[in-house]
Amino acid sequence: MQTILVTGVGAPGTWGTIQSLKGFRIIGCDMNPNAACKGMVDEFYQVPAGDDNDYPMAIESLVRDAGVDVILPQCTNELEALSIFTTWADTDVEIVISSYNTIRTANDKYSLYEAVEDQIPVPLFLAANTDWFIKPRIGSGSRGAKRIPIPDKDMLLMEYLEGDEFTVDCFSDGSNSIAVPRKRTKIVNGISFEGEILVQRQPHDLASFLVTSSYTMMKMLDLTGCFGFQFKMDAEGSPKLLECNPRVQGGMYASTLAGRNVIRMAVLSALGREQEPLEELKPIKFSRYWGMNVT
């Protein structure tokens, strides 16, 4: 049985990731020794934070000790380190991850918007490297004028998008691609708690736009493995790109339940194994609920 290392098993979507990988031996790691899904994996290892200098060496040691075949990252702060891991680590492990340059672009929203804005609708945006000041176009006596302090000099100032939010779960191996759009109807702390899978009904409907835009961006950015995009409606009801997640997304299990297991597809691709037959995409609605794991 081949062994998959799933990182960040304290993440809210980990249970769904594990369910998407039935038939594999699952090793989990997390910086938290009491990570929520610690008891749901075959073995658990505590590791430093993904942006800690000791993280790469800890992962190399774990890979050797546990006989890991594939690393499946779930945390943003470890992606840069893992994208160059195989260039220096003395292991034969495969990693479900895009190239270093792709990760750098996809994780940086300013760079992402710059890279795709000629072909994909994006919000109005500016790099906020200093405090800003707003005032009426016509006025006097400083009425309505206000300073906007920027607490961190590496911020993005962007258009407020007030409408519905959508996520697209994706897989690509460079030759074959999958994109599954879903509506996020209830969001708690950035995680989808309720939503529905969107199925393309007409050539130019919303689902078709989300799928086509995702295919365009995965080619432009050279994204591989499993990853996703998020879109949000602007004030006029038009979808605009919100961000890219070049890793497993927290609600990706919804696509597994709908017949498109992009997580498993990414792992099979990393192993060089033949892909399994696709099921018909089901327009399911889903809801997440709280559970408890006892260790």
Q: What is the pLDDT of residues 48-99, one digit of tens each?
A: 999 999 999 999 999 999 999 999 999 999 999 999 998 888 888 999 999 9
Q: Which residues is 279 bridged to in the sheet?
A: none
pLDDT at residue 288 is higher than 90: no
CA distance 94 to 240: 34
CA-based nearest residue to 49, from 64, 35, 67, 63: 35
In this structure, are residues 248 and 73 in contact, taking their beta carbons and an 8 Å threshold? Answer: yes
pLDDT at residue 8 is higher than 70: yes
CA distance 142 to 45: 59
Strands (E), the chain: 3-6, 25-30, 43-46, 70-72, 94-95, 125-128, 132-134, 146-148, 155-158, 165-172, 177-188, 191-197, 225-233, 239-245, 285-287
Q: What is the pTM of this model?
A: 0.93
Domains of the chain are 3-95 (3.40.50.20), 103-120+161-287 (3.30.470.20), 125-158 (no CATH)
pLDDT at residue 142 is higher than 90: no
CA distance 252 to 250: 6
Q: What is the pLDDT of residue 295?
A: 66
Buried b (16+ CB within 10 A) or exposed e, 209-244: bbbebbbebbeebebbbbbbbbbbbbeeeebbbbeb
CA distance 159 to 233: 11
Amino acid at 181: P
pLDDT at residue 106 is higher than 70: yes
Model confidence band, residue 118 (pLDDT cutoffs 50, 70, 90): very high
38 Cβ neighbours under 8 A, 6+ residues apart? 9, 10, 28, 30, 44, 293, 295
Q: Which two tokens stand for residue 164?
A: 């519905």
Span 221-234, average pLDDT = 98
Return the residue matching tokens 């008891």: 39
Amino acid at 43: E
